[in-house]
Amino acid sequence: MFGWESPASGLGSSMAADRASRQRLPERSSLPPGVATGRPSVPFTVLSPAAARRTLASPTLLLCVAGVVLPNLLSLGALAAGIGMPPRTTAIAAYAALALVARSAPRSITIAFLLAVAGYDATATIALLFNLAPSEIATALQLSAELKLFESPLYIAIAIGAAGVLGANLAMLTLARRTFARGNALVMAALALAFGAADFLTNTSAHYRFGTLYARGKPIESASLSSGFRSVAADAGQGHVLMVMVEALGLLADPAQHAILLEPFRNSELLRRYTVTTGDTTYYGSTTAAEMRELCDTREPYQAILEGKSLACLPELAATRGHRTVAFHNFTKTFFERLDWYPRIGFQKSVFGEDMTEVPRRRCGGPFKGICDVDVVPLIARELQSATKPTFAYWLTLSTHVPIAPRQGTPRLGCEGGGPVGQVEVCYMMELWVDLFKALVDLTADIPPTDILIVGDHAPPLWSKTGRGLFEPGKVPWIRLKPVPQAQAKAG
């Protein structure tokens, strides 16, 4: 009468209620972790394979991958590996725009757009990296059969990486567009903007501001003018003159490191016979631009010569005043059409790699493989020794063309550990430059007194950001060896 139930009846009611409550519980898979099993919840959730696939298939995530991550994957990898690349602001924006266009455009339009953007990206990057104008890139590609590009492991890796990224991006844009078409365009645009800003801040460098196109409107500077060599070479004097343009000889920013290169010119025997002066000059563009700078005192491209433009080039001036003129280059005669335009600027004789049959069989260089620089010096010596009239000689070297082959110079600087500059590739280049300079110093003892100008064409276009940072942006050094009057009179 007080509402008391027997233990048996209460137990039965409790079990019935428990069974009813279990029947009303939702499915276990829809509960937070720990509720269905009675275990306490944990502060993180481990996604099941199905949930992970759903996350990875998120339309917004796929849109970000297609528009930002995938097309710039090679640049991200280069940055992680310490490889320097110029800023790619325009290309980054173009890839993001392409992902938006691909959501509704026909596949053929998407493919054409992708190939155009990738072509622009590659061309602009190479042009800034190697100080080239787009037209010079086209010329180099036409002559690519002369190059051994795939002898460079770096070039092999870049080629494979670029092909893989392009193929993956093409597949993403054409096969997954129905999914990423539902993605949030604002999120992708924000990511592209952030990545573009980071790329610009990270990769902007003064070293990329001295390409051919940057020379417009800039006053001409040259070592031949500032050193006084040009006036001597164009004079009707009785002495020989020699200009040596050294491939990729940049001006090392650290004076102590630069002094290592100049050590051969402190030779006491040389200083008894020659006055040595040094300086630097500004460069714009690649090697052919440097040749036009020093030989013709102009920023006109060499193609202007082939098109019939008349310029006051030093070999022609020297020839009109009685000098015999001869050019040497230890690479192929067809590269950048030197066989055609050298005679038009006044060279009466040209000796290219194909003509140097008397030199040792060994070859130096990476993709630009040819006769080793030090093996060309005896040819120049014989030319000047046998000359019966004053001679203007010009030599464009080769062995230090980037990328170089390692361990081809005399191992004097301990380059395996980075040497005095702390960077292996630059150290190997320095060993080759020192070998060349020592050979030229030895040359002066074997030839009649000769006014000599040694000058770099441009700083080395290194992929390494650390390596580029060792050089002064836009500057190349020059060294002039001028015979002392007593030695010249004695030789005469």
pLDDT surpassing 50 at residue 19: no
Say if 39 falls within a structural domain: no
Quote the CA–CA distance of 14 and 20 in Å, as a whole number: 10
Task: Give the pTM.
Answer: 0.83
Q: Are residues 385 and 451 in the same domain?
A: yes
pLDDT surpassing 70 at residue 302: yes
What pLDDT does residue 149 have? 65
Q: Are residues 193 and 217 in the same domain?
A: no
Between residues 390 and 85, the one the model is more confident about: 390
What pLDDT does residue 2 have? 36
At 322, list the tokens: 């009685």
Q: Are residues 199 and 235 in the same domain?
A: no
What pLDDT does residue 131 have? 87
pLDDT surpassing 90 at residue 17: no
Q: Are residues 233 and 144 in the same domain?
A: no
> The domain containing residue 412 runs over which residues?
212-491
pLDDT surpassing 50 at residue 10: no
Q: Are residues 174 and 136 in the same domain?
A: yes
Q: pLDDT tens, 231-250?
A: 998 886 678 999 999 999 99
Q: Are residues 378 and 266 in the same domain?
A: yes
Q: Are residues 429 and 299 in the same domain?
A: yes
At 383, list the tokens: 């030319």
- The CA-based diameter of the chain, rounded to the nearest angstrom, is 145
Q: Are residues 404 and 300 in the same domain?
A: yes
Q: How many domains does the chain have?
A: 2
What pLDDT does residue 148 have? 66
Which of 158, 179, 204 lies at the terminal end of a domain, its last residue?
Answer: 204
Say if 25 falls within a structural domain: no
3-class SS string, the chain: CCCCCCHHHHHHHHHHHHHHHHHHCCCHHHCCCCCCCCCCCCCCCCCCHHHHHHHHCCHHHHHHHHHHHCCCHHHHHHHHCCECCCCCHHHHHHHHHHHHHHCCCCHHHHHHHHHHHHHHHHHHHHHHHCCCCHHHHHHHHHCHHHCCHHHCHHHHHHHHHHHHHHHHHHHHHHHCHHHHCCCCHHHHHHHHHHHHHHHHHHHCCHHHHCCHHHHCCCCCCCHHHHCCHHHHHCCCCCCEEEEEEECCCCCECCHHHHHHHHHHHHCHHHHHHEEEEEEEEECCCCHHHHHHHHHHCCCCCCHHHHCCCCCCCHHHHHHHCCCEEEEEECCCCCHHHHHHHHHHCCCCEEEEHHHCCCCCCCEECCCCCEECHHHHHHHHHHHHHHCCCCEEEEEECCCCCCCCCCCCCCCCCCHHHCHHHCCHHHHHHHHHHHHHHHHHHHHHCCCCCEEEEEEECCCCCCCEHHHHCCECCCEEEEEEEEECHHHHHHHC
pLDDT surpassing 80 at residue 47: no
What's the mean pLDDT in 103-129? 92
What pLDDT does residue 477 have? 98
pLDDT surpassing 80 at residue 394: yes
CATH of the domain at 341: 3.40.720.10
Query: Omega of the bond prior to 106 within 30 degrees of 0, cis?
Result: no
What's the mean pLDDT in 398-407? 92
Average pLDDT, the chain: 86
Q: pLDDT tens, 245-278?
A: 999 999 999 999 999 999 999 999 999 999 999 9
Band the pLDDT of 73: cuts 50, 70, 90: very high
Task: Choose from 45-54, 108-117, 142-151 the range with maximum mean pLDDT.
Answer: 108-117
What pLDDT does residue 83 have? 80
Closest residue by Cα to residue 283 from 212, 331, 384, 365: 212
What's the mean pLDDT in 114-142? 83
Q: pLDDT tens, 223-232?
A: 999 999 999 9
Q: pLDDT tens, 459-472?
A: 999 988 899 999 99
Band the pLDDT of 360: cuts 50, 70, 90: confident
Distance (Å) of CA 30 to CA 20, 27, 35, 178: 19, 6, 10, 29
What pLDDT does residue 490 have? 55
Q: pLDDT tens, 434-460?
A: 999 999 999 999 999 999 999 999 999
Band the pLDDT of 159: cuts 50, 70, 90: confident
Quote the CA–CA distance of 87 and 199 in Å, as a whole number: 6
Q: Are residues 223 and 198 in the same domain?
A: no
What pLDDT does residue 283 have? 97
What pLDDT does residue 29 have? 42
Q: Are residues 371 and 339 in the same domain?
A: yes
Say if 161 falls within a structural domain: yes
Buried b / exposed e over 78-108, threshold 16 CB at 10 Å, is bbeeebbbbbbbebbebbbebbbebbebeee
Which of 204, 236, 259 lies at the terminal end of a domain, its last residue?
Answer: 204
Closest residue by Cα to residue 409 from 439, 425, 431: 431
Q: pLDDT tens, 160-171?
A: 889 999 999 999
Name residue 324's beta-bridge partners: 391
Q: Are residues 216 and 156 in the same domain?
A: no
Closest residue by Cα to residue 102 from 128, 155, 65: 65
